[in-house]
Each structure stands twice: as structure tokens, then as C-alpha cells.
Amino acid sequence: MPRVLLLFARTSYRADAFLLAARRLGVDVTAGSNHRQVLADLAPGSTLSVGVKDVDRSTATIVRFASDYPLAAIVAAEDDFTPLAAAASEALGLTHHPREAVRYARDKALMRKRLSAAGVSSPWFHVASLHDDPVGVASETVFPCVLKPLSLSASRGVIRADAPDEFVRAWYRIRGILEEIDVAGRSEGVAAEILIEAYLPGREVVVEGIVAGGELLTLAILDKPDPMEGPLFEETILVTPSRLPDGVQDDIVSFVRRCAAHLGLSDGPIHAELRVDADQVSLLEIGPRSIGGRCSAILRFDPEAALEELILRHALGMPFHGFVREGGAAGVMMLPIPRGGVLRQVGGLEAALEVPGIEGLEITITPGQTVVPLPEGNRYLGFLFARAETPDQVETALRVAHARMEVEVEPA
């Protein structure tokens, strides 16, 4: 029976979905993490301690493990582990995006430079060190602009500035985030730098897909119906199928295919975020991973399969073409944290679940825990799921249900 190594953190939203998909496929699982896992239903030899700071060292650990427990695939359940998954897959000759391509995709500045050199239309951008004088950097910047940490995802630390004073405030805010979580020492090849680029107007969309042998299989295009204009860019609602015209969707897929090819992303999942303004399509980021949080729960495929199962099928060399997204529309709301403090309770849950079209609600932070909103925080309060005949019905259901919820946060 083939064995897959799943890499994830102790607090991963994604672990359960990948483990369930592996069971459905009937494959053995090893859980690799930088935290000790307690997974009683897994057999001996099914846990492995690895970290994300020293990729070469962790790769050597995986190679030694594979000599006793041969691996058929290595899959990262979340972004931090993608460099390790790529390096270890390369060492063992397993299917995965190349290590260099993963590095280009995860570093926002390298991504911009690579695509610009390939002639792909990109916004103006430059990179500044956190040790630079922000007043001086602001004096050489065109506004409006967006400041982004090079290595974080899910809009964490992303801030728009329309004037020099806003730029300086955003700079110090991002520096505080990076210093607190020590990003420079947490991931491979990440420097304490900020990407500064032009603000791109337009609607945001997400593309989920799998690249196999350099060919992109598009699994879903999702709309972000909320205006993402800043100064912060907290994601909330995602709805599929997209309501954009078919021609625009074709342009989006073609553009993502080009970007993935130029970056060298050749074998594995991709999660791309883009802006669409009239007939102009621009890439915000493209990750060598699948969609984060519990958002993948809205992506179901016929014959019966979840997104994680398709990813594992590809990695294991099993058939994964021929699956199509279920009919109808689906959506998820990533429940925002309204303010920082201590979460006391979340009320109105039963009322929210009574809204027609709502099919699920998960609160992922327990009362008594300290909560921190974006851009400093990296968690959502939970996830609200809806399914209906049309995208409009899904969006309405999510908004009505969320309005019935009451979140009580006590100042810390």
C-alpha cells in the first residue's frame, strides 16, 4: 500500500481534510510536523518530527525515514511546509513542484521579478529593507501603493497607503508583525524586507487548480464580492462559480497558466489570487498550495471527491482528471475577528444556521482565548458555509446569517 507524508502544523485547519482524503483513497499516512502529534488512529511509523527552519536538515530526516518506510508522495497541507515538501520530494524523486519554483512563488519580490523578466504585465514595485528609513523610502514612492511582507499569506500584514504619513505608519506596523513572529528565522530564504508595489484597482478572484506535467487543470474560480480597497485587505466571502463573463474567466485561466509556467510550477496544487479591472488581469500572488483555512469544504466534485483527494491523487500518480465541480453554487465566509481582546462568547449560532442555504458553521476559537484581528493576527473566528442554486443566493445567505451572530470580545 502506498504511503504519503502529510506535512502540517499542530494548529493546522487543513490536517483533518487531508487525512480523511487519504483514508478514502486507502493509502497509509505519516503525519510530519514541527509539533508532536497525537493521532491515535494512525499506525506505528506514522509520525515524524520535522521543522521548517532548517529545510536541509528536515529533508535529511525525511530521506532517512523513507529508507524504512518508502514514500510515494509528500504533500504540504499549508504554506509554511511547501519548501520542505519540495526539497524532500526532489531528494526522493517524487512528484512535486520544483524547489526553485516554490521559492519564486512564495517570495513576493522574487515572483514579481521573475514574471517581469518574462514580459508578464506587472505593477511597478521595489523592495526595501526594514532597516531602511521609512520616511526616505516614502519620499521615493508613488501613491497609492501597497506594502506587503515578502513571506506572509492570507493578507496578513498587507496595508494600503495613500500618502507618506500613512506609508510610515504602515511600515512600522508591518515591522512590528515581522519582529514578533520572527519570520526571518522561520522559513527558508526569507529576509526582513517589505515589498512596495502599485495599488491595483478592480475585483478580486481566486483560482484553484492542479498543475500536472506543466498543464493546468482549473478546478474552480471563486469571486470575492466584498470590495478589497484597503487600507487593510481582510478576506471574508468567497463564492463559486464566478459571476464574471465567460470570456473574462477564460482570460483569467490563461493568465494563471502563463504565470505558473514562467515561475516553473509544474506539478502540484496552485492557489492564485488576482485583480480584474475591465479587461486587465493582474496577479496578486500564486501559491504552490491549495486554498487555506476550511474554505476547501465548499469545493466538491463529481464523481464524489473533495479537493484534498484530487491533490493526493495527483501526487500519488493516480487518475484525477474527469472530476468536475458539483452543480449549483457554494460559498464560505471567513468570520472576521471584530476587535482584539479575549473572546467571551459567540451568540446567535442557531439563528444563523436557520437561514435558508446555510449548511454549516464552525467556530474555531474557543471562548477564553485571546484574539487578534488582521493584519497582526493570523486566524479567523471561524467559517460559515452556504450552498444554493445561484451565487447571489449564496452570498445573501452568508450575509444574513453573519448579521444574526453576536461576537463578544472583552478588552485584554
Q: How far apart are the first and last CA of the chain?
A: 51
DSSP characters for 332-363?
EEEEPP-SSEEEEEEE-HHHHHTSTTEEEEEE
CA separation for the pair 344, 206 (Å, rounded): 33
Q: Which residues of the chain have pLDDT under 70?
A: 11, 36-45, 182-191
Sorted by where each starts, the structural domains of the chain and their CATH numbers stand as 3-97 (3.40.50.20), 124-198 (3.30.1490.20), 329-412 (3.30.470.20)
The predicted pLDDT at position 13 comes to: 82
* pLDDT one-digit tens code per residue, 26-64: 999 999 998 764 444 445 558 999 999 899 999 999 999
Phi, psi of 323, deg, nearest 5: -85, 135
CB 220 within 8 A of CB 299: yes
- Sort strands 28-33 and 3-7 into parallel, antiparallel or unpaired: parallel
The predicted pLDDT at position 122 comes to: 86
Paired with 385 in beta bridges are 332, 360
| Residues counted in the chain | 412
Question: Is the pTM higher than 0.85?
Answer: yes
Classify burial at 359, counting beta carbons within 10 Å of its beta carbon; exposed 0-12, middle 13-18, buried 19 or more.
Answer: middle
- Quickly count: other Cβ atoms within 10 Å of residue 254's Cβ: 12
Amino acid at 58: S
Helices (runs of H) and strands (runs of E) counted in the chain: 11, 22
* pLDDT one-digit tens code per residue, 327-352: 999 999 999 999 999 999 999 999 99
The predicted pLDDT at position 43 comes to: 57
Return the SS3 of 188. coil
The predicted pLDDT at position 279 comes to: 85
- Quickly count: other Cβ atoms within 10 Å of residue 235's Cβ: 22
